[in-house]
Amino acid sequence: MDDTLKKTVINNDKKLVVSGVFWTFLQLIVNQSFAFGLKLILAKLLFPNQFGLVGMATVFTGFVQVLNDLGVGSALVQRKSEDLRDEHYHTAFWTGVIWSVFLFIVMSLIIAPVAANFYHEPLLKTIIPVLSIGILVSPVNLVHKAQLSKSMNFKKLAFIDNTSNIMAGVIAFAMALYGAGVWALVFNSVATVFFAMPLFFNATGWKPAFVMEKKAFQEVFGFGAYATGSNVLNYLYNNLDYLLIGKLLGASSLGIYTLAFVLTDTFRSRLMSVINSVMYPLYGKRQNDFESLKKYYLKVVLFNCLFIFPIMIFFTIEGEPFIVKIFGAKWHETVAPLQLLSISVMFHILVSGNTALLRGIGRPGLEMKQQLLKAAIFLPTLALGIYYYGLKGAAWAILVNKFIVVVFAQYTFNFLIPVKISIPEFISAIKAPLVASAVSVAVLLLLRFWGLNFIIAGILLCLIYCGIIWFMMRAELKLMLANFKK
């Protein structure tokens, strides 16, 4: 490739990334703002044990949801466009539909009774089959979502995601207001996939044909099997706390923990998801250009840190007045887990792009091995923490394990993959949010000592943090803005 053509390709990639990041970040802002407001209202209308019941059910339905697409969606995005045929899309669609019907039957007839007995909560026999309806119909959107992701059309993805979530949330709010209780939460979890379905069909225009090809299945599933294995292990790793807290401490404790998790790690995972959805197809396109991959990866970590750090600092220092004043005294036990989980999220965001990078360069097997090792360490530490120290012990176990994850990631960059990133390079890449965070923590602790209102403290934190970021990254931010305007 000559220099002119290479420069054109790089410029086009930059435009796609800037556009993708803008729309996915807009999607994140709209979704999280709406979701936070909805959780605030539902937390006031409902009780911890009702949140806990849905949390118990979601442990099982979420696990099956991970199995649902067999990694086929990821395989369609990662595969080069010239190697994809119509048969790949049709085969992926019907494979997903057949598999989801099987999973729905298993969830309704086997898993629901088992979960009810495991937690000693009879209502789970009804909640889990209803939640599983989302599993049954979600493969209908699988190919459409993969096509939009592969073409990096994140504007349409953002519109579909925001519209479906808002429609489901408004109805869930009305249900809670009129006394639906736990079923308002169940509806909000299931309904989004139904509202998204016609929007996806309209966005792509793609319609399935009755085609199932063995070769196409083997080509796509060969990659998808590793991706599915990694997703399963990652899900278990990230949800063992829900499983053990619900079993050992009960529905009310799980509800209290769920609120802390929703306010911290859920926001982190949403940000990682939308950013990685932009970068994953780009990593696949540039999978042999290791220097470009390194630059893109470090930028992803930088901007994830920029957005996550100030929010988690606020929760860590002002968590108590925030929880009590906003959600009420019945949620006071959420404070300690909220503070510890906030610190753990700041560690986790440092490895925010690993999954997308490893899959983009065609190494899902390495990702799966990492998940196995992390789970082997996490399970005993989490069980001991919950058994001896309850919710606070669970949060401490998560914090320690997120630090271990960062160590694993650095070892991977040093020895296991061709994308090499040293510790000094990594620190240099995120020095702006590190400096801004250190100064903000010092100021916020001083304000806390003086007893300043938590809302005012939050506003000052935002002003100080943003001011330091602008001072340190002014030129880069101006260039990004100029590129976006173009």
Residue from 237, 187, 231 nearest 380 by CA: 237
Instruction: Give the pLDDT of residue 192.
Output: 82
Residue from 178, 108, 148 nearest 24 by CA: 148
Which among 71-75, 219-223, 356-360, 415-419 has the top mean pLDDT?
415-419
pLDDT in tens, 332-378: 888 999 999 999 989 988 887 777 777 667 676 777 777 778 778 88
Sequence letter at residue 175: M
Coil, strand or helix: which one is 298?
Answer: helix
333/327 Cα distance (integer angstroms): 11
pLDDT in tens, 121-156: 888 888 888 888 877 777 777 778 777 777 767 677
Which among 65-74, 87-96, 214-223, 310-319 has the top mean pLDDT?
310-319
Sequence letter at residue 185: L
Reply yes or no on whether the pLDDT at 19 is more than 60: no
Higher pLDDT, 227 or 415: 415
Give the CA angle between residues 7, 282, 361 to the nearest 5°.
110
Higher pLDDT, 256 or 80: 256
Instruction: Give the pLDDT of residue 314.
Output: 92
Tokens of 401: 């394990």
CA distances from 349 to 366, 409, 437, 440, 483 (A): 20, 12, 14, 18, 26
96/215 Cα distance (integer angstroms): 16
Residues 6+ apart with CB under 8 A from 92: 72, 73, 75, 76, 142, 143, 146, 216, 220
Alpha helices, H only, 46-84: 48-68, 72-78
Using the structure block, give the residue that is written with the tokens 């100029």. Answer: 482
Tokens of 249: 């401490």
Instruction: Give the pLDDT of residue 7.
Output: 47
pLDDT in tens, 477-486: 777 666 555 5
Coil, strand or helix: which one is 132?
Answer: coil
Reply yes or no on whether the pLDDT at 437 is more than 90: yes
184/188 Cα distance (integer angstroms): 6
pLDDT in tens, 43-52: 666 666 777 7
Q: At what angle do helices 86-106 and 214-249 cross, to 10 degrees?
A: 30
Average pLDDT over residues 296-321: 87
The distance from CA 225 to its chain's CA centroid, rounded to whole angstroms, is 21
Instruction: Give the pLDDT of residue 463.
Output: 92
Instruction: Give the pLDDT of residue 5.
Output: 47
391/385 Cα distance (integer angstroms): 8
pLDDT, mean over the chain = 77
48/331 Cα distance (integer angstroms): 8
Tokens of 114: 């088992």
